[in-house]
């Protein structure tokens, strides 16, 4: 995260990752490929559903979080590299917990995603790597929380 | 009317039921296309960088893997279910990388099923999903909620 080694990451710090605007075209394209349910594809069917209007696949909302997270990290990696600082290898994630779709994301909504660091520890099974845990929140343009989850990612430690 | 009646409803998801369904072949191009748009980390978009990473080769974004589980779900049963969407996912474990050429299927186990106290027309079904390849290796596990309309309201 942020191009930092695990040793450098401060806990209980919140970062705003960025915003994603949901267009009808992108919502339909995602839903056609991965979540072709009527309330994600068809205005009339969505109006008659309990959602009331066309809404994004929940996995589209999640993928847009990742888009903001990777762009945020990349900006920081570029800044760090420009200062001549070393960068950790990018690590994978073993999974996540407690993902909540709190409210539908509708056509034209802009979701702003944030991330808070929660815990970090070295991994005995992968020398030189540790696990960072964080929580996330996405809010729409009315400040309503629409999306959250608890994530984890492997982060490289400084070589000693 | 006949169409709505033929849909699967809450009553059609008994606890303990295990059902296997679907077939989805993942192409390298699809892995890279999804990742370029949503998760452009080196191990999802660049074969050489992926080989040098902890993941050992090009593999699908975990969010892409979740989207594939969703696609298989809609094709396998949710597309003919009186679906009311989902409130969320308890847990996802990305156990093994999904690679180009993998042929994936899903196995669902109904863990819990109850009618919402606030909304008696809505059933809350908790499912465990295993996404596995042609060799039977489980690539990902998901525990999540399917919201399903109740058929017989007293």
Span B36-64, pLDDT tens digits: 999 999 999 999 999 998 889 999 999 99
Confidence (pTM): 0.96
H helices, E strands: number in chain A? 4, 5
- Using the Cβ of B40 and the Cβ atoms of chain A, whether some distance falls under 8 Å is answered with yes
Lowest mean pLDDT among A60-64, A87-91, A100-104, B14-18: A87-91
- Window 64-93 of A: residues touching B by CB (8 A cutoff) are 64, 66-67, 70, 74, 89-93
A30 to chain B: closest CA residue: B67
In the numeric block, which tokens belong to residue B2?
């006949």
pLDDT of B152 reads: 75
Does B21 score more than 50 pLDDT?
yes
- The DSSP 8-state label assigned to residue B80 in this structure reads G
pLDDT in tens, A5-43: 999 999 999 999 999 999 999 999 999 999 999 999 999
Crossing angle of helices A24-34 and A58-82, in 10° steps, is 110
State the nearest Cα–Cα gap between B111 and chain A, in angstroms: 17
Q: Quick check: B91 and A67 CB within 8 A?
A: no
Pairing of strands B122-132, B103-115: antiparallel
In the numeric block, which tokens belong to residue A123?
């991994």
Using a CB-CB cut-off of 8 Å, the residues of chain B touching A30 are 67
Any bridge partners for residue B130, and if so which? Answer: B107, B141
* Site of tokens 């409803």: B9
**pLDDT band for position B1 (cuts 50, 70, 90):** very low
Mutant choice from B22, B30, B51, B67 vs A, greatest count of A C-beta within 10 A = B67
What average pLDDT does the segment A59-63 reach?
98
Q: What percent of chain B has pLDDT over 70?
A: 97
Q: Are A141 and A44 in contact (CB under 8 A)?
A: no
- Window 7-26 of A: residues touching B by CB (8 A cutoff) are none
Distances (CA, A) of A70 to A60, B37, B38: 15, 11, 8
pLDDT of A54 reads: 97
- Using the Cβ of A145 and the Cβ atoms of chain B, whether some distance falls under 8 Å is answered with no
pLDDT in tens, B104-115: 999 999 999 999
3-state secondary structure of A23: coil
Any bridge partners for residue A95, and if so which? Answer: B93
């Amino acid at each position: 995260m942020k191009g930092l080694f695990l040793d450098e990451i401060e806990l209980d710090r919140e970062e705003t990752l960025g915003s994603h605007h949901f267009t009808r075209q992108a919502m339909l394209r995602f839903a056609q490929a991965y979540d072709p349910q009527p309330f994600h594809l068809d205005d009339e069917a969505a109006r008659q559903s309990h959602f009331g209007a066309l809404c994004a696949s929940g996995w589209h909302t999640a993928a847009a979080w990742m888009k903001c997270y990777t762009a945020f990290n990349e900006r920081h990696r570029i800044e760090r590299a420009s200062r001549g600082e070393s960068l950790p290898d990018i690590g994978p994630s073993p999974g996540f917990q407690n993902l909540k779709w709190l409210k539908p994301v509708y056509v034209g909504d802009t979701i702003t995603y944030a991330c808070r660091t929660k815990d970090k520890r070295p991994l005995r099974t992968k020398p030189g790597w540790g696990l960072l845990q964080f929580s996330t929140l996405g809010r729409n343009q009315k400040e309503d929380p629409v999306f959250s989850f608890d994530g984890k990612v492997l982060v490289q430690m400084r070589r000693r | 009317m006949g169409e709505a009646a033929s849909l699967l409803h809450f009553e059609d998801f008994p606890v303990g039921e295990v059902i296997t369904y679907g077939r989805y072949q993942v192409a390298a191009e699809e892995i890279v296309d999804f990742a370029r748009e949503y998760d452009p980390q080196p191990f999802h978009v660049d074969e050489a960088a992926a080989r040098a990473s902890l993941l050992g080769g090009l593999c699908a974004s975990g969010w892409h893997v979740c989207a594939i589980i969703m696609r298989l779900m809609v094709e396998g049963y949710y597309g003919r279910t009186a679906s009311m969407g989902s409130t969320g996912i308890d847990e996802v474990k990305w156990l093994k990388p999904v690679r180009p050429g993998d042929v994936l299927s899903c196995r669902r186990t109904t863990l819990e099923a109850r009618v919402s106290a606030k909304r008696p027309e809505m059933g809350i079904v908790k499912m465990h999903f295993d996404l596995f390849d042609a060799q039977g290796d489980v690539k990902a596990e998901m525990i999540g909620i399917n919201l399903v309309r109740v058929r017989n309201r007293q």
